[in-house]
């Protein structure tokens, strides 16, 4: 079976990463989305297998992608206004 060196997709936008996965002869696998206060929205934070490793053609690459910081609900009470 033919092998390929897995490109590093960390830091890329998910759309470019998915194109790169297919372009390398690999298959996009499960994508996990997590909140992150530093990584911009839709940025690949990690991948399995890691960039630089060897994989068989058609193997899957799993991505972890930022959905930005967590939203914290805030309740504001304004005197004289009833909800």
Q: Does domain 3-66 have CATH number 3.90.180.10?
A: no
Please state the rounded mean pLDDT for residues 31-60: 97
- Which residues, in sequence order, are CB contacts of 24 under 8 Å at separation 6+? 4, 6, 7
3-23 per-position pLDDT tens digit: 999 999 999 999 999 999 999
The pLDDT of residue 31: 98
Residue 34 reports pLDDT greater than 80: yes
The pLDDT of residue 65: 98
Residue at token pair 């990690």 = 46
- Which residues, in sequence order, are CB contacts of 61 under 8 Å at separation 6+? 6, 9, 21, 26, 27, 28, 29, 47, 48, 49, 55
């Amino acid at each position: 079976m033919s092998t390929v060196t897995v490109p590093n997709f960390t830091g890329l936008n998910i759309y470019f990463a998915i194109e790169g996965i297919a372009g390398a002869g690999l298959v996009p696998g499960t994508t996990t989305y997590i909140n992150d206060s530093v990584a911009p929205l839709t940025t690949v934070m990690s991948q399995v297998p890691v960039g630089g490793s060897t994989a068989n053609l058609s193997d899957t690459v799993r991505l972890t992608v930022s959905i930005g910081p967590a939203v914290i609900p805030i309740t504001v009470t304004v005197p004289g206004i009833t909800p």
